[in-house]
């Protein structure tokens, strides 16, 4: 498996209260925006909790 095919590069979308949570297949952690909404903000992975930091919406620009 090449590095671009590895499980640390794979994500699962989970519906969550009208939004989505994005879970890493390899770590089981969720993509966390840390409360930042600006372009270029750093992201991290975090364990499951109900915070809005872990909730994402997909919108048409």
- Tens-place pLDDT, residues 4-48: 668 889 999 999 999 999 999 999 999 999 988 899 999 999 999
Burial 4-19 (b: 16+ CB within 10 A, else e): eeeeeeeeeeeeeeee
Number of domains the chain is built from: 1
Task: Give the domain extent around 47.
Answer: 3-54
For residue 12, is it within any domain?
A: yes
For residue 28, is it within any domain?
A: yes
For residue 60, is it within any domain?
A: no
- In 3D space, the residue among 50, 2, 45, 52 whose CA is nearest the CA of residue 25 turns out to be 45
pTM above 0.85, yes or no: no
For residue 34, is it within any domain?
A: yes
pLDDT of residue 42: 94
Q: How far apart are CA 39 and CA 25, in angstroms?
A: 25
Phi/psi of residue 32, each to 5°?
-125, 125
């Amino acid at each position: 498996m090449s590095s671009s095919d590895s499980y640390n590069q794979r994500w699962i979308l989970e519906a969550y209260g009208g939004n989505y949570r994005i879970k890493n297949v390899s770590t089981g952690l969720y993509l966390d925006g840390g409360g930042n909404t600006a372009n270029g903000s750093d992201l991290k992975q975090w364990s499951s909790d109900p915070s809005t930091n872990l909730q994402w919406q997909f919108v048409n620009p």
